[in-house]
Structure 1
């Protein structure tokens, strides 16, 4: 089992990382959750949701997780069961912010007093606030990547195109993650259940809604900027390809003429011209080599090779 239980006088926090059969059985033995909720727990979700029951709420939220090796963003899921005197969190353990909060709450009285002396709704708010705040550095990473893409926009090479593709993919995934957050948070703010109420609870949940709206607005702006950069880069790449094709056409015509000239001399019925001009054939072949090396040098200089 990967279960941690943290107690205070009026509240219990159960935190489970990657639940196995023993964890699920523990939950079934101690909580009256709906069977469909357990199916959602063991099945990865692609969108946030909130289910309201008579005596508890079941919430699924997705948050961005940045893979440092590939700099790609992926969604990571956190499930919440919120009841009158308990909170259950279920996640994959990849978010250090949540792991650290669990460890500190288990180890230090002041952390427990800060987050667990009010209702389970306040503990839920505290966790969500930390998870939203940890999302902003990932948003900053996207903005820095976007600034770098703007500086590299005139480099129509493979690395730049790959960087644009990764950036656009990250923005799309982040937007998909955040799309339903406002709906879930709005339902929490409007809930009449006592365990979700605490002093200034509506204002606190409204702050979370504003976090979600701010992130969404920035991502919308980033999406437009990334698309503009990508269109500009593709136009430059198309123009560059046109230059390459034009240069290749010119050299192809020159080489074709020289090759044709050599063939005419080699297969002519008479060799009078070769006898009269013995250095013509070597000069022609030399000219072909010079043109070939000039072509390679030009491509290398313009970074086409």
Structure 2
């Protein structure tokens, strides 16, 4: 029996929905901070903030009341979910009708930073730093943002300090802009990007310290410290470089979700990304230079050690040649039975000849610049 095209499409949609529901039901999230760091799973925490047009500051809202407020025209919601699980993702599917593709990316984590456009919302994937300590390898965590007409949803594993800063900025923002989803999106993204500036400043200070250690302290750099700085710079570049292209095109699109007044704010985010990438490119060159300087210093130190060993070896060879010749168990060796005033001085004469040969060898090495 031949089925119509409409019947086939209907069955495919039903199959896709059933597979998505099954994946959400069986999903066990893995909390990843970076490609090499995994965080222990924790209980999910959902924080919902609502800002009404007649209020100066956002207020907390119970998660079960999202559906009651979502369709209100004069409210702006921020749903922040820490360590999301299957129940939270199912709630997002029911309340916001997100595409299975964007939810799949949020489930898998370790996505490439990007900005995807869907019919009713945007999906922004961005990486946020967790601390500014350059004495250990930089840790970054993925933050998935879903931006709709009057809401923004943020999903992330663990605690993200940059989101705390974004919340404080939103609470202190002027009411004229604070109730617009474009401005709130800018606050969240800009807070995450700005959190990278203290890190690059600390990395630059650390590189200057390594240079001072090598060139002023007359010793090589600590390879472990140099490797930590190198990996931190590389992690920042991986997190920011894809955003350059994404946010270069993002302000130029015709956004039905954002007001024209909020477009310059995203241009500001793009400028910050370019500035960070310029600094990171310079720091990559500094890391490469520090690595080459460290290797050159170690090679020079090895050459100095080999020179010292060569001098010692030549002196020992001269002494070994003399003592080896006069130490043979044969009769008739020169100076073996020399007596002065009835005292045997042959041994002392051999020692004097040995010291003279060593002195001549040292003079010759000195003239050749080896000592």
**What is the CA–CA distance in structure 1 between the aligned matches of 2:214 and 2:176, rounded to whole Å?**
47
**What is the CA–CA distance in structure 2 between the aligned matches of 1:274 and 1:164, rounded to whole Å?**
62
> Residue 8 of structure 1 is aligned with which of 48, 51, 60?
51
Between structures 1 and 2, the one with greater helix share: 1
Who is 1:79 aligned against?
144
Who is 1:162 aligned against?
224
What are the superposed Cα offsets for residues 148-197 of structure 1, whole Å, 9 maximum, x if unpaired? 122123256564333333323222221221101122223431232332x2
Who is 1:212 aligned against?
273
What are the superposed Cα offsets for residues 110-135 of structure 1, whole Å, 9 maximum, x if unpaired? 54875984222211101112222221
**What is the CA–CA distance in structure 1 between the aligned matches of 2:153 and 2:304, rounded to whole Å?**
62
Contact kept? 1:47, 1:62, Cα under 8 Å: no
**What is the CA–CA distance in structure 2 between the aligned matches of 1:258 and 1:21, rounded to whole Å?**
81
Who is 1:59 aligned against?
124
How many pairs does the alignment contain?
A: 282
What are the superposed Cα offsets for residues 29-81 of structure 1, whole Å, 9 maximum, x if unpaired? 22211222222112222520121111111110123344638432233211100
> Residue 223 of structure 1 is aligned with which of 241, 266, 284?
284
**What is the CA–CA distance in structure 2 between the aligned matches of 1:189 and 1:205, rounded to whole Å?**
6
1:246 aligns with 2:246: no
1:192 aligns with 2:254: yes
The SS at the match of 2:138 is strand
Given the two structures, how large is their TM-score scaled by the length of structure 2?
Answer: 0.66
1:38 aligns with 2:78: no
Q: Superposition pairs for residues 74-113 of structure 1, below 5 Å?
A: 74-102=139-167, 110-111=171-172
Given the two structures, how large is their TM-score scaled by the length of structure 1?
Answer: 0.79
Deviation at 1:101, TM superposition (A): 4.2
**What is the CA–CA distance in structure 1 between the aligned matches of 2:48 and 2:237, rounded to whole Å?**
34
**What is the CA–CA distance in structure 2 between the aligned matches of 1:162 and 1:98, rounded to whole Å?**
31
Deviation at 1:277, TM superposition (A): 4.7
The SS at the match of 1:15 is strand
**What is the CA–CA distance in structure 1 between the aligned matches of 2:177 and 2:77, rounded to whole Å?**
8
Contact kept? 1:50, 1:58, Cα under 8 Å: yes
**What is the CA–CA distance in structure 2 between the aligned matches of 1:143 and 1:100, rounded to whole Å?**
24
**What is the CA–CA distance in structure 2 between the aligned matches of 1:99 and 1:271, rounded to whole Å?**
95
1:180 aligns with 2:259: no
The SS at the match of 1:73 is coil
**1:79–1:149 distance in 2 versus 1, CA, 3 Å:** same
Which ranges of structure 1 fall in alignment gaps of 5 or more residues?
Answer: 288-305
RMSD between aligned residues = 3.2
Who is 1:302 aligned against?
none
**What is the CA–CA distance in structure 2 between the aligned matches of 1:204 and 1:45, rounded to whole Å?**
27
> Residue 94 of structure 2 is aligned with which of 26, 29, 39?
29
> Residue 263 of structure 2 is aligned with which of 202, 205, 217?
202
Which ranges of structure 2 fall in alignment gaps of 5 or more residues?
Answer: 1-43, 53-74, 338-343, 356-371
